[in-house]
Amino acid sequence: MKTIGILTSGGDSPGMNAAVRAVTRAAINRGIRVMGIRRGYSGLISGDIFEMDVRSVSDIIHRGGTVLYTARSEEFKTEEGMQKAIQTCKEFGIEGVVVIGGDGSFRGASDLSARGIPCVGLPGTIDNDVGCSDYTIGFDTAINTVIAMVDRLRDTAQSHDRCSVVEVMGRRAGYIALEAGIAVGASAILVPEVPYDIENDVLKRMEKISKTGKKHFIIIVAEGLEITDKLTEIIAERTQMNTRSTVLGHVQRGGSPTGYDRVMASRMGYHAVELLSQGIGNRVVAFKDSKIVDFDVQQALSMHKEFPVELYKMAYEISI
Ligand code: ATP
């Protein structure tokens, strides 16, 4: 392969830049030209593409977001859009593409691979909701951002004997809620993957814990449940505590990536180049059982990750 393209697609996540840097440098080091494609599949359709050199990715390893910008493209899902993208690849001599994004982006990568442009996907999302991989680029930074924010909330909740209900991101998944919830010592963690009962798992639990002398509470709620306001009202009414809700929102998507995200993004980017340089496409790079591996895209899309229920149980036992 003489020329590859690289794009970021779907939601941005911290560490995407580290992956872009690794792909660019590893490819150039192997004598492969690298074309940066702006705004995901939209840029592939419109030809918003520039050639990258080793210095194009200077000074980005520590930056959140994505220097390639990201977008969602409905047009790319149509055969016409797909054909335009293939035409662009031909114009720029792009023979393979590294796609950093989530499941939707991998579906696009699979469609392109099936039409003769081998693609390799890298899991880039803060939500950790990619079935084939134990970890996704940006997840670690997002958890650490939540921890930093909730630590601040805890200071004020403690000073006012308050209950703080914190909604965290994750879309339909509860991974951010679970791990951040453990790390901040939340009294309750509500996630879509584990059935809960507000009466027993929140109210009675708070009552029991308060008998041991605890006077402030942190409750973490995954956004996918869409219950933050209602839960806050119920807690305030039933416990008579001063109860506030905080929706952390997009602060969780930004910020300088953690060391872990930078290293993992670099490793995954490097792995993608190793595949494409051998002409291997239609793969998704993943982190499984502490190893960087890759799967066929269709297999990757059909894989399901078990929610770590044992961690959830542990959280409930130790946060009393
Ligand atoms: P995130 O998890 O951050 O939302 P994602 O990759 O899952 O990332 P999507 O919006 O689902 O985000 O997909 C990104 C882009 O991938 C879409 O805008 C579209 O261009 C392309 N895409 C999604 N699904 C398909 C599909 N079935 N076929 C072809 N392309 C697709």
The 10s digit of each residue's pLDDT in 177-196 is 999 999 999 999 999 999 99
Q: With contact defined as beta carbons under 8 Å apart, do 10 and 100 qualify?
A: no
Cα separation, 26 vs 266, in Å, equals: 10
For position 320, what pLDDT does the model report?
A: 82
Domains 3-138+257-302 and 140-253 alike in fold: yes
Is 154 known as a binding-site position? yes
To the question of domain 3-138+257-302 being in CATH 3.40.50.450, the answer is: yes
**Closest CA to ligand 1's atom 4:** 10
**Closest CA to ligand 1's atom 24:** 104
CATH number of 140-253: 3.40.50.460
Domain boundaries, the chain: 3-138+257-302, 140-253
* Strand ordering across the sheet containing 188-190: 188-190, 217-222, 162-168, 242-247
Is 223 known as a binding-site position? yes
Q: Would you state the structure tokens that stand for residue 149, as one six-digit string? A: 């924010």
pTM: 0.96
| C-alpha 231 – ligand 1 centre gap (Å) | 32
Q: Is the CB of 11 under 6 A from ligand 1?
A: yes
Atom of ligand 1 nearest to the CA of 76: 20
What's the complex ipTM? 0.94
Atom of ligand 1 nearest to the CA of 71: 18
For position 158, what pLDDT does the model report?
A: 87
Whole-number Cα distances in Å, 118 to 105, 122, 190: 14, 14, 40
Is 104 known as a binding-site position? yes
Q: Is the CB of 47 under 6 A from ligand 1?
A: no
Cα separation, 166 vs 151, in Å, equals: 11
Query: Which parts of the chain have pLDDT scores under 70?
Result: none
